[in-house]
Chains A and B, each alone.
Chain A
Amino acid sequence: MRQQQFEAENQALWDEIAQLMDDLQRSRSKRRLHHAQHLGFPARYRQLCNHYALARSRGFSPALIDQLHGLVLRGHRLLYRQQGGWRWRVLYFILGGFPRAVRRNGGYFELSLLFFLLPALLMGVGCYLQEDLIYTVMDEYMVAQMETSYDPTNERPGRSIERSSETDFTMFGYYILNNIGIGFRTFATGILLGVGTLFILLFNGLVIGGVAGHLSQLGYHETFWPFVSGHGAFELTAIVICGAAGLLLGYAVIAPGQRTRVQALREHAEESLQLVMGAALMLLAAAFIEAFWSSSTLQPTIKYSVATLLWLGMALYLMLMGRGDHGSR
């Protein structure tokens, strides 16, 4: 069959498909064709693929092949795209998917926890016993700022003099920008053989432990611990989870197993994304608590009881939620 004949016979089908695809690309409410016509799309698309293959193998002209290639490409994108339903997916994710993902990667979580908690404890005890050890991880300006923030005479605990006039809202924004950013960086730098993640975990462990030890040694318990104990349940756990996600990425590059490194990386990236997104939501909650609850000047006993509830709730959520749906653990 000559090209001209081929085109004359099939042009109507190609026009129809192009029209169908135009319609399918419109949002649902703006579509003009009937649903029954949309249902015919896959069959027509496969016919189009057939024509494209024929045109190629028969050596028809480049312009025709280009035209058909363009149509097939559009069809491929339309037919195989992923769309919709994300609101429900977010809800299911919070109710079960996320804690399950954390439990599936318990080993990475524990390793991450170790790299965070161990330096924090060591530095904490060190700074409690020795006054000037804190200067090994923070400069003088930062130490001074941190000391004034938790000075019992400070009316707004947790805020340095410069920040004391900031509203709770402002601090909420600041915690989001800063803390979720740290979480994302902890995850992303894991792809460099896990080194970046370990470094960030270690460094944050040292600083946080050091600050806690130093302030306790100064006798600022009354301001420091009630302030941090509440949001710490969300914030510290989330940072450790981000660390676990980063280690998961790094491990794919170091030990891909029976897969190519790229394949292993892709699989681990998808898994670790769940951890990071969950942790980001936790950090959002932590920012909210830190800005509006931790900064309040209620009795320490009230704050400690709420903190206990938050820690307990977090532990139960991560350990128990999402178990049992279709036998999942």
Chain B
Amino acid sequence: MQAGVTEGRSIEQLDTLWRYEIPEGVLLDFRLAGPVVRACAWAIDAALRGVIYLVLVMVLALLGGIGTALMLIGFFLIEWFYPVVFEIHNGATPGKRAMGILVIQDNGVPVTPSASVIRNLLRTADFLPFLYATGLVTMLINREFKRLGDLAAGTLVVYRDEQHERIDPPSAIASKPPIELSETEQLTLLAFAERGENLSVGRREELAELLVEQTGLQDGKAVDALYAYANWILKGR
């Protein structure tokens, strides 16, 4: 599966973006989940497991011998396979889902059943000597925040990228920017136009006024001018 495909790399040293080139030759970006958010997810799962244990004990204690047997088998399944069931189903345990993260293979596809079993059996080793100390140290010494189980299974924990509703930049009469803009500058203008409506009016104007030397405008007029330039970049005259 890996042959011929560029290994993913974290781009830029202080960024947790994980970039992976897929067979179609384009790059996919993933945001890696660090130890803190994963610990929170684990805590939520631990609480949920506690509740399930309690319910099991209360319900099955009424059934006598077979009830006890089912309870013990339930304990076994929850201890070892609780995360596996959820990860195979939709990539995330309830805790991970609540924290907005999920498990994937390190080539971007959903986690496979065998990888999920490996990473969750190896929790035992990551947990040693107490509270995931081994796992934490391992996560901190590799670039992808992988604990031992992730290394052996070839899995990554990443943020679930939610598709935001696209806001079209406010349409304005297109006007050509007064100076020649580089590609990055054009992208910055477009980003401003697309996200400006999510900012407060004051912040929007403050940002637009950074260009007062070029536009010679202030307040709402500066904002409108930038929208006009963005429209020009998008549509042409």
User: Residues on A close to B: CB < 8 A?
Assistant: 2-4, 45-46, 49-50, 52-53, 56, 59-64, 66-67, 69-70, 72-73, 76-77, 80-82, 86, 166-167, 169-174, 176-177, 180-181, 184-185, 187-192, 196, 249, 262, 265-266, 269-270, 273, 276-277
Q: B156 an interface residue at 8 Å Cβ cutoff?
A: no
B190 touching A77, Cβ below 8 Å: no
Residues of A contacting B75 in the complex (Cβ-Cβ under 8 angstroms): 177
Residues of B contacting A184 in the complex (Cβ-Cβ under 8 angstroms): 80, 121, 124
B152 touching A191, Cβ below 8 Å: yes
B194 touching A62, Cβ below 8 Å: yes
B69 touching A170, Cβ below 8 Å: yes
- B interface SS class: helix
User: Residues on B close to A: CB < 8 A?
Assistant: 22, 24-29, 64-66, 68-73, 75-76, 79-80, 104, 107-110, 112-114, 117-118, 121-125, 128, 134, 148, 151-154, 161, 163-164, 166-167, 169, 183, 186-187, 190-191, 193-194, 233-236
Complex Cα gap A266–B125 (Å): 16
B235 touching A188, Cβ below 8 Å: no
Residues of A contacting B134 in the complex (Cβ-Cβ under 8 angstroms): 192
B118 touching A273, Cβ below 8 Å: yes
Complex Cα gap A86–B151 (Å): 24
Q: Choose among A3, A64, A73, A169 the residue that contacts B108 (Cβ–Cβ < 8 A).
A: A73
B163 touching A49, Cβ below 8 Å: no
B161 touching A73, Cβ below 8 Å: yes
A62 touching B121, Cβ below 8 Å: no
**What are 10 inter-chain pairs, A to B, with CB distance below 8 A?**
A2-B234, A53-B26, A63-B167, A70-B163, A80-B107, A191-B122, A192-B128, A266-B153, A270-B114, A273-B114
B152 touching A167, Cβ below 8 Å: no
Q: Choose among A172, A188, A196 the residue that contacts B121 (Cβ–Cβ < 8 A).
A: A188
Complex Cα gap A50–B24 (Å): 8
Complex Cα gap A76–B68 (Å): 45
A270 to B: closest C-beta gap in Å: 7
B79 touching A62, Cβ below 8 Å: no
Q: Choose among B128, B153, B186, B187 the residue that contacts A189 (Cβ–Cβ < 8 A).
A: B128
A176 touching B76, Cβ below 8 Å: yes
Complex Cα gap A273–B236 (Å): 59
Please give 4 more A-B residue pairs, beta carbons under 8 A apart, in addition to A189-B124, A266-B154.
A188-B122, A188-B124, A189-B125, A276-B121
Residues of A contacting B28 in the complex (Cβ-Cβ under 8 angstroms): 69, 72-73, 76
Least CB separation from A61: chain B residue: B190
A46 to B: closest C-beta gap in Å: 6
A172 touching B69, Cβ below 8 Å: yes
A188 touching B123, Cβ below 8 Å: yes
Residues of A contacting B169 in the complex (Cβ-Cβ under 8 angstroms): 61
Known A-B contacts A63-B167, A181-B76; A273 and B117 likewise in contact (beta carbons under 8 Å) = yes
Complex Cα gap A125–B145 (Å): 49
Residues of A contacting B152 in the complex (Cβ-Cβ under 8 angstroms): 191, 249, 265-266, 269
A70 touching B65, Cβ below 8 Å: no
Complex Cα gap A190–B114 (Å): 18
